[in-house]
Protein backbone atom coordinates (compact mmCIF):
# COMPACT_ATOMS: atom_id res chain seq x y z
CA UNK A 1 0.00 0.00 0.00
CA UNK A 2 1.66 3.19 -1.21
CA UNK A 3 -0.05 5.39 1.40
CA UNK A 4 1.70 3.40 4.15
CA UNK A 5 5.17 4.27 2.81
CA UNK A 6 6.81 7.69 3.05
CA UNK A 7 10.18 8.54 1.56
CA UNK A 8 11.95 11.24 3.56
CA UNK A 9 15.03 13.37 2.94
CA UNK A 10 17.26 14.74 5.68
CA UNK A 11 19.02 17.85 4.35
CA UNK A 12 22.25 17.94 6.34
CA UNK A 13 23.80 21.10 4.90
CA UNK A 14 25.57 24.24 6.06
CA UNK A 15 24.08 27.69 5.61
CA UNK A 16 25.77 30.49 3.76
CA UNK A 17 26.01 31.96 7.19
CA UNK A 18 23.87 35.06 7.80
CA UNK A 19 23.33 35.49 4.06
CA UNK A 20 19.60 35.13 3.48
CA UNK A 21 19.49 35.05 -0.30
CA UNK A 22 22.46 32.72 -0.74
CA UNK A 23 21.11 30.33 1.88
CA UNK A 24 17.66 30.31 0.24
CA UNK A 25 19.34 29.33 -3.03
CA UNK A 26 21.13 26.47 -1.28
CA UNK A 27 17.85 25.32 0.31
CA UNK A 28 16.11 25.43 -3.06
CA UNK A 29 18.85 23.29 -4.61
CA UNK A 30 18.43 20.78 -1.77
CA UNK A 31 14.65 20.60 -2.28
CA UNK A 32 15.17 19.84 -5.97
CA UNK A 33 17.80 17.21 -5.15
CA UNK A 34 15.58 15.57 -2.52
CA UNK A 35 12.68 15.48 -4.97
CA UNK A 36 14.89 13.91 -7.64
CA UNK A 37 15.51 11.08 -5.14
CA UNK A 38 11.72 10.59 -4.72
CA UNK A 39 11.52 12.24 -1.29
CA UNK A 40 8.01 13.27 -0.26
CA UNK A 41 9.23 15.18 2.80
CA UNK A 42 12.50 17.05 3.26
CA UNK A 43 13.69 18.38 6.62
CA UNK A 44 16.27 21.10 7.32
CA UNK A 45 18.01 21.95 10.59
CA UNK A 46 17.22 24.54 13.26
CA UNK A 47 17.83 28.18 12.30
CA UNK A 48 19.44 27.10 9.02
CA UNK A 49 17.98 30.15 7.30
CA UNK A 50 20.10 32.25 7.66
CA UNK A 51 22.14 30.52 10.41
CA UNK A 52 22.61 29.78 14.10
CA UNK A 53 23.99 32.65 16.28
CA UNK A 54 27.39 31.09 16.86
CA UNK A 55 28.96 34.51 17.33
CA UNK A 56 27.35 35.09 20.74
CA UNK A 57 29.53 32.58 22.59
CA UNK A 58 32.62 33.58 20.56
CA UNK A 59 32.52 37.35 21.13
CA UNK A 60 31.58 37.79 24.80
CA UNK A 61 27.96 38.24 23.83
CA UNK A 62 26.68 39.02 27.33
CA UNK A 63 28.33 42.44 27.35
CA UNK A 64 25.52 44.95 27.70
CA UNK A 65 25.18 47.82 25.21
CA UNK A 66 28.21 46.56 23.32
CA UNK A 67 28.83 47.94 19.82
CA UNK A 68 30.10 44.62 18.45
CA UNK A 69 26.99 42.76 19.63
CA UNK A 70 24.69 45.45 18.28
CA UNK A 71 26.30 45.46 14.84
CA UNK A 72 26.28 41.68 14.42
CA UNK A 73 22.70 41.47 15.70
CA UNK A 74 21.60 44.13 13.21
CA UNK A 75 23.25 42.13 10.41
CA UNK A 76 21.36 39.05 11.66
CA UNK A 77 18.07 40.96 11.65
CA UNK A 78 18.67 42.21 8.09
CA UNK A 79 19.03 38.60 6.97
CA UNK A 80 16.13 37.20 9.00
CA UNK A 81 12.91 35.99 7.38
CA UNK A 82 9.70 37.99 7.21
CA UNK A 83 7.05 35.54 6.05
CA UNK A 84 4.47 38.28 5.60
CA UNK A 85 6.71 39.99 3.03
CA UNK A 86 7.04 36.83 0.94
CA UNK A 87 10.56 35.74 1.90
CA UNK A 88 9.55 32.06 1.66
CA UNK A 89 7.49 32.35 -1.53
CA UNK A 90 10.03 30.71 -3.84
CA UNK A 91 10.46 27.81 -1.41
CA UNK A 92 6.67 27.35 -1.24
CA UNK A 93 6.52 27.33 -5.02
CA UNK A 94 9.16 24.61 -5.20
CA UNK A 95 7.21 22.53 -2.67
CA UNK A 96 4.15 22.69 -4.91
CA UNK A 97 6.05 22.09 -8.15
CA UNK A 98 7.83 19.06 -6.72
CA UNK A 99 4.92 17.75 -4.61
CA UNK A 100 7.16 17.67 -1.54
CA UNK A 101 6.46 18.72 2.06
CA UNK A 102 9.10 20.70 3.95
CA UNK A 103 10.13 21.32 7.55
CA UNK A 104 12.52 24.27 7.67
CA UNK A 105 14.22 26.03 10.58
CA UNK A 106 14.34 29.80 10.12
CA UNK A 107 15.10 32.97 12.03
CA UNK A 108 11.79 34.79 11.82
CA UNK A 109 11.27 38.53 12.07
CA UNK A 110 7.46 38.65 12.29
CA UNK A 111 5.32 41.72 11.72
CA UNK A 112 2.78 40.54 14.29
CA UNK A 113 5.39 41.23 17.00
CA UNK A 114 6.43 44.61 15.61
CA UNK A 115 8.88 43.43 12.97
CA UNK A 116 12.13 43.78 14.93
CA UNK A 117 12.56 40.94 17.44
CA UNK A 118 13.83 37.57 16.23
CA UNK A 119 12.39 34.08 16.78
CA UNK A 120 13.77 30.63 16.04
CA UNK A 121 10.83 29.20 14.10
CA UNK A 122 10.09 25.81 12.59
CA UNK A 123 7.98 26.09 9.43
CA UNK A 124 5.86 23.35 7.89
CA UNK A 125 5.04 23.72 4.20
CA UNK A 126 2.72 21.09 2.74
CA UNK A 127 2.89 19.45 -0.68
CA UNK A 128 0.61 22.14 -2.13
CA UNK A 129 3.17 24.78 -1.15
CA UNK A 130 1.07 26.20 1.71
CA UNK A 131 2.58 27.22 5.04
CA UNK A 132 0.54 25.26 7.57
CA UNK A 133 2.31 26.11 10.81
CA UNK A 134 4.94 28.49 12.16
CA UNK A 135 6.22 27.22 15.50
CA UNK A 136 8.26 29.83 17.37
CA UNK A 137 10.65 28.19 19.80
CA UNK A 138 9.11 28.34 23.25
CA UNK A 139 12.31 28.83 25.21
CA UNK A 140 15.66 29.85 23.70
CA UNK A 141 18.59 28.10 25.37
CA UNK A 142 21.48 29.76 27.21
CA UNK A 143 23.20 32.33 24.97
CA UNK A 144 20.39 32.08 22.41
CA UNK A 145 18.38 34.31 24.75
CA UNK A 146 20.73 37.18 23.96
CA UNK A 147 19.46 37.32 20.36
CA UNK A 148 16.24 35.24 20.14
CA UNK A 149 12.87 35.98 21.76
CA UNK A 150 10.63 33.36 23.42
CA UNK A 151 7.77 32.10 21.28
CA UNK A 152 4.28 30.79 22.00
CA UNK A 153 2.10 27.72 21.56
CA UNK A 154 0.47 28.74 18.29
CA UNK A 155 2.58 26.39 16.20
CA UNK A 156 2.12 23.28 18.34
CA UNK A 157 0.26 21.62 15.48
CA UNK A 158 0.40 18.33 13.59
CA UNK A 159 -0.24 17.72 9.91
CA UNK A 160 -1.45 14.81 7.76
CA UNK A 161 1.07 13.40 5.31
CA UNK A 162 -0.05 10.22 3.54
CA UNK A 163 -0.78 7.70 6.36
CA UNK A 164 1.36 9.67 8.81
CA UNK A 165 0.70 12.55 11.20
CA UNK A 166 3.76 14.79 11.48
CA UNK A 167 4.75 17.40 14.06
CA UNK A 168 7.99 19.00 15.15
CA UNK A 169 9.99 20.84 17.80
CA UNK A 170 13.15 22.95 17.87
CA UNK A 171 16.34 21.69 19.51
CA UNK A 172 16.11 21.55 23.33
CA UNK A 173 12.32 21.86 23.16
CA UNK A 174 12.53 18.16 22.44
CA UNK A 175 13.59 17.64 26.07
CA UNK A 176 10.42 19.39 27.30
CA UNK A 177 7.86 16.69 28.25
CA UNK A 178 4.73 18.83 27.92
CA UNK A 179 5.29 20.18 24.37
CA UNK A 180 6.05 16.60 23.32
CA UNK A 181 2.80 15.46 24.93
CA UNK A 182 0.93 18.26 23.15
CA UNK A 183 1.98 16.75 19.82
CA UNK A 184 1.43 13.14 20.88
CA UNK A 185 -2.10 13.99 21.95
CA UNK A 186 -2.93 15.24 18.45
CA UNK A 187 -1.98 11.89 16.95
CA UNK A 188 1.63 12.55 16.01
CA UNK A 189 3.41 9.43 14.80
CA UNK A 190 6.28 11.02 12.85
CA UNK A 191 8.19 13.45 15.04
CA UNK A 192 10.54 16.01 13.51
CA UNK A 193 13.38 17.24 15.69
CA UNK A 194 15.64 20.00 14.33
CA UNK A 195 19.06 21.03 15.66
CA UNK A 196 21.84 23.50 14.77
CA UNK A 197 24.32 20.67 14.38
CA UNK A 198 25.68 18.14 16.87
CA UNK A 199 25.43 14.41 17.47
CA UNK A 200 25.95 15.32 21.14
CA UNK A 201 22.24 16.12 21.13
CA UNK A 202 20.78 13.77 18.55
CA UNK A 203 22.39 10.47 19.59
CA UNK A 204 20.32 10.11 22.78
CA UNK A 205 17.12 12.15 22.44
CA UNK A 206 16.18 10.71 19.03
CA UNK A 207 15.88 7.16 20.30
CA UNK A 208 14.36 8.31 23.60
CA UNK A 209 11.45 10.15 21.94
CA UNK A 210 10.87 7.23 19.58
CA UNK A 211 10.72 4.85 22.53
CA UNK A 212 8.46 7.14 24.56
CA UNK A 213 6.03 7.95 21.75
CA UNK A 214 6.30 4.74 19.70
CA UNK A 215 6.67 7.00 16.67
CA UNK A 216 9.29 7.53 14.01
CA UNK A 217 11.68 10.33 14.96
CA UNK A 218 13.69 12.26 12.38
CA UNK A 219 16.48 14.44 13.79
CA UNK A 220 18.11 16.83 11.35
CA UNK A 221 21.18 18.91 12.14
CA UNK A 222 23.09 21.39 10.06
CA UNK A 223 26.81 21.56 9.44
CA UNK A 224 28.99 24.55 10.32
CA UNK A 225 32.72 24.83 9.78
CA UNK A 226 35.14 27.67 10.18
CA UNK A 227 35.28 28.16 6.42
CA UNK A 228 31.49 28.61 6.30
CA UNK A 229 31.73 32.14 7.74
CA UNK A 230 31.45 34.54 4.76
CA UNK A 231 33.95 37.37 4.44
CA UNK A 232 31.03 39.83 4.61
CA UNK A 233 30.35 38.92 8.26
CA UNK A 234 30.71 41.89 10.62
CA UNK A 235 33.64 41.53 13.04
CA UNK A 236 34.70 38.32 11.33
CA UNK A 237 38.24 38.61 12.69
CA UNK A 238 37.02 38.36 16.28
CA UNK A 239 34.69 35.46 15.46
CA UNK A 240 37.37 33.46 13.66
CA UNK A 241 39.93 34.11 16.38
CA UNK A 242 37.80 32.20 18.88
CA UNK A 243 35.96 29.73 16.63
CA UNK A 244 36.85 26.03 16.58
CA UNK A 245 37.36 24.38 13.21
CA UNK A 246 34.03 22.53 13.56
CA UNK A 247 31.02 24.25 15.10
CA UNK A 248 28.38 21.81 13.86
CA UNK A 249 29.25 18.24 12.90
CA UNK A 250 25.80 17.09 11.79
CA UNK A 251 24.46 14.00 13.52
CA UNK A 252 21.24 13.70 11.50
CA UNK A 253 19.51 10.38 12.12
CA UNK A 254 16.24 8.42 12.24
CA UNK A 255 14.88 6.12 14.93
CA UNK A 256 11.98 3.73 14.40
CA UNK A 257 8.92 3.35 16.65
CA UNK A 258 10.74 0.62 18.60
CA UNK A 259 13.52 3.06 19.50
CA UNK A 260 16.12 1.36 17.33
CA UNK A 261 18.18 3.08 14.65
CA UNK A 262 16.98 3.20 11.08
CA UNK A 263 19.73 5.68 10.25
CA UNK A 264 22.49 6.17 12.82
CA UNK A 265 23.86 9.71 13.30
CA UNK A 266 25.78 10.81 10.20
CA UNK A 267 28.78 13.04 10.88
CA UNK A 268 30.67 15.56 8.70
CA UNK A 269 28.79 14.61 5.54
CA UNK A 270 26.95 17.27 3.56
CA UNK A 271 24.01 16.24 1.42
CA UNK A 272 20.56 14.63 1.37
CA UNK A 273 20.06 11.43 3.36
CA UNK A 274 17.14 9.33 2.04
CA UNK A 275 15.08 6.68 3.83
CA UNK A 276 11.61 5.14 3.38
CA UNK A 277 9.37 4.71 6.43
CA UNK A 278 6.56 2.15 6.82
CA UNK A 279 3.53 3.36 8.79
CA UNK A 280 2.61 -0.21 9.74
CA UNK A 281 5.52 -0.24 12.20
CA UNK A 282 3.77 2.50 14.19
CA UNK A 283 0.68 0.35 14.62
CA UNK A 284 2.76 -2.64 15.66
CA UNK A 285 4.59 -0.72 18.40
CA UNK A 286 1.41 0.95 19.71
CA UNK A 287 0.05 -2.51 20.53
CA UNK A 288 1.84 -2.58 23.87
CA UNK A 289 2.26 1.14 24.62
CA UNK A 290 0.44 4.29 23.52
CA UNK A 291 1.27 7.30 25.75
CA UNK A 292 -1.92 9.22 24.95
CA UNK A 293 -4.21 6.27 24.21
CA UNK A 294 -4.66 3.03 26.14
CA UNK A 295 -1.61 3.74 28.34
CA UNK A 296 -2.87 7.11 29.59
CA UNK A 297 -5.14 8.19 32.44
CA UNK A 298 -6.83 11.47 31.45
CA UNK A 299 -9.10 11.15 34.47
CA UNK A 300 -5.96 11.67 36.59
CA UNK A 301 -3.64 13.88 34.48
CA UNK A 302 -4.43 16.17 31.56
CA UNK A 303 -2.43 18.80 29.67
CA UNK A 304 -3.85 22.25 28.93
CA UNK A 305 -2.28 23.93 25.86
CA UNK A 306 -2.64 27.61 24.96
CA UNK A 307 -2.25 27.88 21.17
CA UNK A 308 -3.18 31.54 20.96
CA UNK A 309 -0.67 33.59 18.98
CA UNK A 310 0.75 36.16 21.38
CA UNK A 311 0.83 39.80 20.35
CA UNK A 312 1.47 43.10 22.08
CA UNK A 313 -1.48 44.98 20.60
CA UNK A 314 -5.13 44.10 20.12
CA UNK A 315 -7.40 46.53 18.31
CA UNK A 316 -11.11 46.78 19.00
CA UNK A 317 -13.18 46.89 15.84
Backbone angles phi, psi at 152, to 5 degrees: -145, -175
116 lies in a domain?
yes
DSSP H helical ranges for 7-127: 20-36, 55-58, 67-78, 89-98
Query: Is 306 inside any structural domain?
Result: no
* Domain presence at residue 50: yes
Q: How many CB atoms within 10 Å of residue 117?
A: 15
Q: Is 162 a catalytic residue?
A: no
pLDDT the model gives residue 314: 86
Determine which one of 20, 26, 137, 162 is catalytic: 137
The whole-angstrom separation of Cα 47 and Cα 137 is: 10
Domain presence at residue 311: no
Regions of the chain with pLDDT less than 50: none
Instruction: Judge whether 309 lies within some domain.
Output: no
Q: Is 182 in contact with 303 (CB distance < 8 Å)?
A: yes
Read off φ and ψ for residue 187, nearest 5 degrees: 95, 15
Tell me which of 26, 108, 171, 285 is the catalytic residue.
171
Cross-strand bridge partners of residue 195 = 221
State the residue range of the domain holding 76.
2-286
Kindly report, residue by residue over 203-252, the tens digit of the pLDDT.
999 999 999 999 999 999 999 999 999 999 999 999 999 999 999 999 99
Q: Which helix (H) or strand (E) holds 164?
A: strand 164-170
pLDDT given at position 279: 98
**Annotated catalytic, 171?**
yes
Quote the pLDDT of residue 72: 96
**pLDDT (tens digit per residue) in 14-26:** 999 999 999 999 9
Sheet holding 101-108, edge to edge: 131-136, 119-125, 101-108, 41-44, 5-12, 271-278
Residue 20 confidence (pLDDT)? 97
163/279 Cα distance (integer angstroms)? 7
- Residue 168 domain-assigned (yes or no): yes
Distance CA 284, CA 299 (A): 26
pLDDT at 309: 94
Other C-beta atoms closer than 10 Å to the C-beta of 70 total 11
Number of domains the chain contains: 1
- Output the domain CATH number for residue 7: 3.60.110.10
Asked whether residue 299 is assigned to any structural domain, the reply reads no
CA dihedral sign of residues 78, 81, 84, 90: positive
Burial code (b: 16+ CB inside 10 Å, e: under 16) for 282-316 equals beebbeeeebbeeeeeeeeeeeeeeeeeeeeeeee
Catalytic member of 20, 26, 40, 46:
46
**Quick check: is 173 catalytic?**
no
Could you tell me which of 266, 230, 273 has the C-alpha nearest to residue 248? Answer: 266
Q: Does a structural domain hold residue 307?
A: no
| The pLDDT value given to residue 48 | 98
pTM value? 0.96
Beta partners for 289? none
Contact 114, 310 (CB under 8 A): no
> Who's near 233: CB < 8 A, 6+ residues apart?
17, 18, 72, 75, 239
The answer to whether residues 298 and 30 touch, using CB atoms and an 8 Å cutoff, is no
Mean of pLDDT over the chain: 96
Strands 261-267 and 271-278 turn out to be unpaired
Amino acid sequence: MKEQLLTVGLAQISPVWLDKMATIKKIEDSIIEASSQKAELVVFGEALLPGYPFWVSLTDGAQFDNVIQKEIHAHYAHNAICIEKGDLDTICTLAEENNIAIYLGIIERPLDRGGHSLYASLIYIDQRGEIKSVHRKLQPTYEERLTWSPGDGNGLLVHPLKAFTVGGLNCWENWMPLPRAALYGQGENLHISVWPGSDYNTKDITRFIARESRSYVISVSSLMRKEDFPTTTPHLDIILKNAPDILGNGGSCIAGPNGEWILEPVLHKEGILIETLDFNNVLQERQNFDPVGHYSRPDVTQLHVNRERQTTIRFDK
